[in-house]
Copies of this chain bind each other. A is one copy, B any other.
Amino acid sequence: MLRQLLPRCGRALRAPATLRSSQILPLQTWQTARCYSIKPAAASAAKVLDLDPTKLSIQKTEKPKTLVDPSKLIFGREFTDHMLTIEWTSNDGWLAPSITPYQNLSLDPATCVFHYAFECFEGMKAYKDKNGDVRLFRPDKNMERFNKSAARIALPTFSPTALIELIARFAKLEERFIPNERGFSLYLRPTLIGTQKTLGVGAPHSALLYVIASPVGPYYPTGFKAVSLEATDYAVRAWPGGVGDKKLGANYAPCVVPQLDAASRGFQQNLWLFGPEEYVTEVGTMNLFVALRDKETGQKELLTAPLDGTILEGVTRDSILGLAREKLAPEGWLVSERKITMPELHEASLDGRLIEVFGSGTAAIVSPVRKISWKGKLVDCGLTEHEESGEVALRMKNWMEGRQYGDEEHDWSYKC
C-alpha cells in the first residue's frame, strides 16, 4: 500500500553488486569499502521483488574471531564473524541477500540516514537449548513490528517469513558464539536504513537491511537488582499522533539527556509520564507492569498501559500478558491493559496495595522497581529492604526462559 504512494519518476542506478568470495579484491579495500549509497533514483515499471531467501549467498570469513570469555561479555560491544545484508531499491525491490564477514558500511556523507533518521530496528535473541539447537523467540512478532516501523518512515516492507528464515540461517551459522549456559544468548539486531544520497526530504529510493549479532550474558549475573526510577514529566517520550509506538531510531537519542539527568540524581531510569493526568507509560526503553490490589474488593491485578499509539508494542510485554492470562488468571489475578496515573500508583503504595512494579524488555526480560521519585516523594513499590524482586517478576522470568531455552516445547520458540 505504502509503496504505491512513492513518486516514481526516472530510473534507479543499480546498487553495487554484492561481492562474492570468488572475486579477487585487495583485502583492505574489501573490508572497509562496501558502498551502499545509491544515486538519486526512482523506479520504472519494472517488477519489484520481495525478499527471497533462496538467493542467499554466504561468504565465510577467513579470519574467525577468538571467542570472548562469556563472563566478560557486555551488551552490544562484541560482534560475531558475519553479518546478513540485503539491499533494496525502489526500481528492483529486494536484491539477493548475502552473509559476509562483519565489516564497515561505506556511505556517502549525503546519505539520508545521517540527516533525516531514516532508520528502524529490532531487538531479538537466539538461545541454545539443552540439545545444542539454536532457537529464536517469537520472531514473527519482531518481524510484524519491524514492518510497521519501516512503513511509518517510508522505508520498504518485506515478507516476514522470508526474513525469519534468513535470520535463522545467520544465527545458526554463528552458533559457536552462543555460550551453552542458561542466561546466555545471541542478541540479534536487524536494522533498516535509508541509503539515498540526496538532501531533499522524501521517501528514500534505496535502503539497506542488515542484521548483526552480539553474544550477551545474563542481565543479572548475580541475581535480580531492583532499580529506582525518576518520574519524568518535563521531557515527553511519545504523544498521540507521534511515532512512540514504533521502533525508530528517532525515539532513542532524545531520551539520553533525561536519563543522564535522572542518573545524576541517583535514579537509574526515567519513568515516562504523559499529560496532566500523569499517566504512567514506559520505563527507560522498557514497558512497565504494575501488580496491585483493588481498593474496594482487594482483587489482585497485573496491569500494563494499553497500546494507544504512545506505547512500544513490546514482544516481552505481549508474552508477559499471555503468560499472565494463562497462568495467573486461573489463580485469581485480573490481567489488564489499562491506563494508570501516578497519583493512583502513589495512593496504592500508601495504602499498602502496591504488590510490585517491573519493567519488561528483551534485554532483561523483567527489571524489578524498588522506588519511584515523584514530586519530592519516594513512592515505595512493594519490595522489602532485602528483596530485589517481587514474586510475579521472578515467576515471569522463569516461565519466559522455559520457553526461550526450549525446556518447554511451545509455539513461541522457533528452531533454527
Q: How far is the CB of A261 from chain B (nearest CB, A)?
A: 7
A32-B33, A104-B108, A198-B76 given; A117·B261 CB < 8 A: no
Option from B108, B109, B189, B260 in Cβ contact (under 8 Å) with A6: B260
- Taking CB as reference atom, which chain B residue is nearest A252? B116
- Taking CB as reference atom, which chain B residue is nearest A264? B5
Q: Is the CB of A243 within 8 A of B254?
A: yes
Interface membership of chain A positions 32-51, coded 1 if the CB is closer than 8 angstroms to chain B and 0 otherwise: 11010100100000000000
In the assembly, what is the distance between CA of A40 and CA of B117, in Å? 22
Size bracket, chain A contacts: 35 or more
Q: How far is the CB of A2 from chain B (nearest CB, A)?
A: 7
Q: Is the CB of B152 within 8 A of A212?
A: no
A32-B32, A33-B29 given; A242·B239 CB < 8 A: yes
Q: How far is the CB of A252 from chain B (nearest CB, A)?
A: 4
Q: Which residues of B contact A253 (CB under 8 A)?
A: 116-119, 153-154, 194, 248, 250
Q: How far is the CB of A284 from chain B (nearest CB, A)?
A: 8
Q: Which listed segment binds B: A161-169, A199-207, A341-349, A386-394?
A: A199-207
Residue A136 interfacial (CB < 8 Å): no
Interface residues of A in 208-238 (CB under 8 A from B): 210, 212, 214, 233-236
Q: Is the CB of B199 within 8 A of A115?
A: no
A76-B199, A114-B191, A115-B119 given; A241·B233 CB < 8 A: yes
Chain A positions near chain B (C-beta within 8 angstroms): 2, 5-7, 26, 28-29, 32-33, 35, 37, 40, 74-77, 79, 83, 102-110, 113-119, 121, 151-154, 187, 189, 191, 193-194, 198-203, 210, 212, 214, 233-236, 239-243, 248-257, 259-261, 263-264, 285
